[in-house]
Amino acid sequence: MTGPVLVSACLLGRCCRYDGTGKALPELIRLGERRRLVPVCPECLGGLPTPRPPAERQGERVVNQEGDDVTEAYCRGAEQALRIAREQGCTVAVLKERSPSCGAGQIYDGTFRHILTAGDGVTAELLRKNGITVVGESQIHTLL
Ligand code: SF4
């Protein structure tokens, strides 16, 4: 497989996570030696500050730990990530698992009790619906 890969910016070490951290994933650095990586942070693209309160999906809504409905910012960020993926010609994305934006396959259940449930983050869901293959970071070996 060739072509550029959309990636969660925090997986490249950008400190854009809700708590102001980021952690570079060595396998992603390796992938970057062979393919062009296109980093995005949907939550930042949606206009949210860093740091920010943690948020979880509650059905179609996204709510932060302070009880604010932040769905609009999450949807705006997802649209921006999709726009960038299309502009850059990305057909695959490597995204941070369990995030309410980037999570693929498993996310927290909306109770803020660290309970996982089946589902995608808002951005992962939109990318998939638009034909982009989404790979969680633990599955990156499938691209190496
Ligand atoms: Fe990382 Fe995605 Fe969260 Fe941004 S929105 S910090 S890229 S997991």
What is the chain's percent helix, strand, coil content, to nearest 5? 35, 20, 45
Question: 108: CA distance to ligand 1 center in Å?
Answer: 14
**Whether the Cβ atoms of residue 40 and residue 9 lie closer than 8 Å to each other:** yes
> Which is more confidently placed, 56 or 2?
56
- What would the mean pLDDT of 87-92 be, rounded to a whole number? 98
- What would the mean pLDDT of 122-138 be, rounded to a whole number? 97
Nearest CA to ligand 1 atom 3: 17
**Whether the Cβ atoms of residue 52 and residue 16 lie closer than 8 Å to each other:** no
**Is it the case that residue 128 has pLDDT exceeding 90?**
yes
The number of the ligand 1 atom at minimal distance from the alpha carbon of 44 is: 4
Residues with CB under 6 A from ligand 1: 8-10, 16-17, 41-43, 96, 99, 101-102
Q: Name the residue of 23, 41, 44, 76 whose CB sits within 8 Å of the most ligand 1 atoms, as the mutation to test its pocket.
A: 41
Nearest CA to ligand 1 atom 6: 17
Q: How far apart are CA 115 and CA 110, in angstroms?
A: 8
φ and ψ of 116, to 5 deg: -85, 150
pLDDT band at 32 (very low <50, low <70, confident <90, very high): very high
Nearby residues of 137 by Cβ (< 8 Å), 6 or more positions away: 8, 11, 25, 27, 28, 94, 95, 96, 97
pLDDT single digits (tens) 60-71: 999 999 999 999
Q: What percent of the chain has pLDDT over 70?
A: 99
ipTM of the complex: 0.99
38: β partners: 6
pLDDT single digits (tens) 93-116: 999 999 999 999 999 999 999 999
pLDDT single digits (tens) 38-68: 999 999 999 999 999 999 999 999 999 999 9
Q: How does the average pLDDT of the chain come out, rounded?
A: 97
115-124, long-range: CB < 8 A, 24+ apart? 119/57, 121/57, 121/95, 122/42, 122/57, 122/62, 122/74, 122/75, 122/77, 122/78, 123/42, 123/74, 123/77, 123/78, 123/81, 123/82, 123/95, 124/93, 124/95
pLDDT of 2 reads 84
pLDDT of 67 reads 97
pLDDT of 82 reads 98
